[in-house]
Structure 1
Amino acid sequence: MGTVNMLAERSRGPRLRADASRNRERIVAAAREAFVEYGAEVTLDQIARRAGVGNATIYRHFADRSELNRQVTLEVINRIVELAESALDERPDAFEALRYFVHGAAAERIGALCPMSSDGWETIAAELEEKRDRLARAVEAIMDRGRGEGLLRPDVSSGDIMIAITQLTRPLPGMGCLHLERFFDRHLELFLDGLRAPARSVLPGAGATFADLQRPH
């Protein structure tokens, strides 16, 4: 009987681990959606209901709210980095690569998620450094290609792109989200048109860089 029980426990082990992994993924996905919909003050109860789990399940996976925020931020940044690198590798037309990246990054709603990532930033900063460097290299390579092909105006920089994506995906004050995502693609195309060469205006000041977007230590 002991051998049978041992075999049963072994057979359940991988399944239990798979179930726990799926629960963790559901929680992170639900948290991201809830942050976008309700803002940084969303409650764990709202996240748990959206994920279809209890609050205790959240605490089994995440020590506290800051840890959950951190994981959501890291996963979003991971997807944006992969998006930029795939745009660079798979889209030979430089402006199409930039369009692909801008629309994909906007779909992650990074503007809506910015306030959420401010809590516990110090613990996430080191993990983000390598990802930020990869993102900067990919976006700057896309833009260098666009300038070289005469498609991109020369007075914009990679930081300008990230600031615009963030601002265009941030909910309007006092209005909630109000399904503003239906306007994102329209306004992103207006923004992209402004990046095309030849430039039809003179931009004031200097372009933003990724270094400008880093928090002071």
Structure 2
Amino acid sequence: MPPVGARRPQPYEPGRSTTVNTAATALKRTGEPRLRADALRNRERIVAAAREMFVEHGADVSLDEVARRAGVGNATLYRHFADRQELVRRVTLYVTHRITDQAEAALAEEADGYEALRRFVHAVVDERVGALCTMLAGTAEERGEHTEARERLEGAVERIMASARDCGRLRADVEFGDLMVALTQLTRPLPNSGCLNFDRFAHRHLQLFLDGLHTPARSELPGSAVTLEDLRQRP
């Protein structure tokens, strides 16, 4: 039962949380002169199309197909992105910023920390991070702007979890890594299904997961909580 006076959670509405503050900066390369409005729109279309196709088919999708979905010519795509690696970097940076924007907006706009957490994780589902997880994972070769974006995301998520604990609604035996691993698994498309009808079950199953995060805990978790340091360890 929620605390007396707490707002009763409402079913998630896809698209409800749309605040985006800094994601657009990921579309611009460091040191690049200001783009004309039409050039910026083309870049936005390319990044959006690439993100959709990476989710559906993986990062090896044909760049010709990306350009076709974006409604631009191949020359336009290569004018903005020298190669596949550069496009992948822009997409991962863009998605990382979008997720962080959602986390910060939820924390600023929700009075209850657990409601901020609930809003944030549903927004993460909409970003399909499970399908992009291999691209989003930090590598030794990541650039400074990617390191900064990842650290900003980590800080925002940890603040949301701390706020949810402070209001007495998040169980104490879960950490950052537990949340992010679960979100990655819950947003990974089923084999051979792409993203067809994804919303039919993803948000429903996510709510089951959220119920398991709620305190008081109904069971003892095996092992120890997965921390941020655990996720940073590499084989």
Q: What is the alpha-carbon distance in structure 1 between the residues aligned to residue 133 and residue 157 of structure 2?
A: 20
Higher fraction of helix: 1
Q: What is the alpha-carbon distance in structure 2 between the residues aligned to residue 190 and residue 60 of structure 1?
A: 45
Aligned to 1:48: 67
Asked if 1 retains the 8 angstrom alpha-carbon contact of 2:50 and 2:91, the reply is: yes
SS in 1 for 2:54: helix
Q: What is the alpha-carbon distance in structure 2 between the residues aligned to residue 81 and residue 48 of structure 1?
A: 27
Q: What is the alpha-carbon distance in structure 1 between the residues aligned to residue 203 and residue 51 of structure 2?
A: 20
Which residue of 95, 118, 124 corresponds with 1:105? 124
Q: What is the alpha-carbon distance in structure 2 between the residues aligned to residue 49 and residue 55 of structure 1?
A: 8
Please give the per-residue CA displacement for 1:109-141, whole angstroms capped at 9, x wherever unaligned.
Answer: 1111123457x9444353232222222222222
Unpaired segments ≥5 residues, structure 2: 1-34
Please give the per-residue CA displacement for 1:43-72, whole angstroms capped at 9, x wherever unaligned.
Answer: 112101100111111111111000000000
Which residue of 145, 158, 161 corresponds with 1:127? 145
Which residue of 126, 131, 144 corresponds with 2:162? 144
Q: What is the alpha-carbon distance in structure 2 between the residues aligned to residue 71 and residue 122 of structure 1?
A: 17
Q: Measure how far apart 1:190 and its partner are.
A: 0.5
SS in 2 for 1:21: helix
Q: Which amino acid aligns with 2:232?
A: Q
Q: What is the alpha-carbon distance in structure 2 between the residues aligned to residue 55 and residue 40 of structure 1?
A: 17
Which residue of 182, 185, 201 corresponds with 1:183? 201
Q: Measure how far apart 1:83 and its partner are.
A: 1.1
Q: Measure how far apart 1:165 and its partner are.
A: 1.0
Aligned to 1:58: 77
CA RMSD of aligned residues (A): 2.3
Unpaired segments ≥5 residues, structure 1: 1-15
Q: What is the alpha-carbon distance in structure 1 between the residues aligned to residue 43 and residue 65 of structure 2?
A: 16
Q: Which amino acid aligns with 1:78?
A: H
Structure showing greater radius of gyration is: 1
Aligned to 1:18: 37
Asked if 1 retains the 8 angstrom alpha-carbon contact of 2:114 and 2:167, the reply is: no
Matched length: 203
Asked if 1 retains the 8 angstrom alpha-carbon contact of 2:130 and 2:183, the reply is: yes
Q: What is the alpha-carbon distance in structure 2 between the residues aligned to residue 191 and residue 78 of structure 1?
A: 24
Q: Which amino acid aligns with 2:81?
A: F
Q: What is the alpha-carbon distance in structure 2 between the residues aligned to residue 130 and residue 180 of structure 1?
A: 31
Aligned to 2:58: 39
Aligned to 1:197: 215
Distance 1:155 1:80, change over 3 A: same
Asked if 1 retains the 8 angstrom alpha-carbon contact of 2:161 and 2:170, the reply is: yes
Identical columns (%):
62
Q: What is the alpha-carbon distance in structure 1 between the residues aligned to residue 185 and residue 229 of structure 2?
A: 18
Distance 1:72 1:177, change over 3 A: same
Aligned to 1:85: 104
| TM-score after normalising by structure 2 | 0.79
Q: What is the alpha-carbon distance in structure 2 between the residues aligned to residue 213 and residue 68 of structure 1?
A: 25
